[in-house]
């Protein structure tokens, strides 16, 4: 079974995230959307809300699982018997950031990273932009599922 982990804080999940997962589905038998937790980080939406948002976005899709984890993403991949990490790239800065992490994950943990380039219509969307809009009482509904 080809299993991938798509990690993130998903605070909140965006249409860009959904696009990456939907386009990756033909590549894998199962995709685990893994919500990483960090006690030191302040989230806008609770873990329960984030998990519910993701489950709703992919309801009825048996290839998608949602899980919560703490610690190293690569260790979570091993625990879940996932051979691949799925990552979306919006721009060259994302690639530069992800490249070193991907190389370390492959060398140290044997987990391969698969990158999918964002569709142009979603490349400007980030969770931080959505949070900014939300914090200022703006309408962000066109950016999230």
Active site residues: 17, 41, 90, 127
Q: Does this model's pTM top 0.85?
A: yes
For residues 56-94, one letter each, b for 16 or more C-beta atoms within 10 angstroms of the residue's C-beta and e for the rest, the string is ebbeeeeebbbeebeeebbebbeebebbbbbbbbbeeeb
pLDDT in tens, the chain (145 residues): 999 999 999 999 999 999 999 999 999 999 999 999 887 788 999 999 999 999 999 999 999 999 999 999 999 999 999 999 999 999 999 999 999 999 998 998 899 999 999 999 999 999 999 999 999 999 999 999 9
SS3 114: strand
Encoded tokens for 18? 């959904």
So what's the pLDDT on residue 109? Answer: 87
Its CATH class, for the domain covering 3-143, is alpha beta
Q: What is the domain partition of the chain in residue ranges?
A: 3-143
């Amino acid at each position: 079974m080809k299993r991938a982990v798509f990690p993130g804080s998903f605070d909140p999940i965006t249409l860009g995230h959904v696009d990456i997962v939907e386009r990756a589905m033909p590549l894998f038998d199962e995709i685990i959307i893994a919500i990483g937790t960090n006690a030191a980080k302040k989230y806008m939406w609770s873990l329960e809300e984030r998990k519910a948002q993701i489950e709703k976005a992919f309801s009825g899709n048996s290839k998608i699982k949602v899980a919560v984890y703490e610690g190293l993403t690569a260790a979570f991949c091993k625990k879940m018997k996932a051979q691949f990490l799925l990552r979306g790239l919006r721009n060259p800065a994302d690639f530069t950031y992800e490249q070193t992490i991907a190389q370390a994950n492959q060398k140290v943990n044997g987990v391969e990273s698969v990158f999918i380039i964002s569709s142009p219509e979603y490349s400007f969307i980030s969770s931080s932009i959505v949070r900014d809009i939300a914090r200022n009482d703006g309408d962000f509904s066109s950016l999230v599922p």
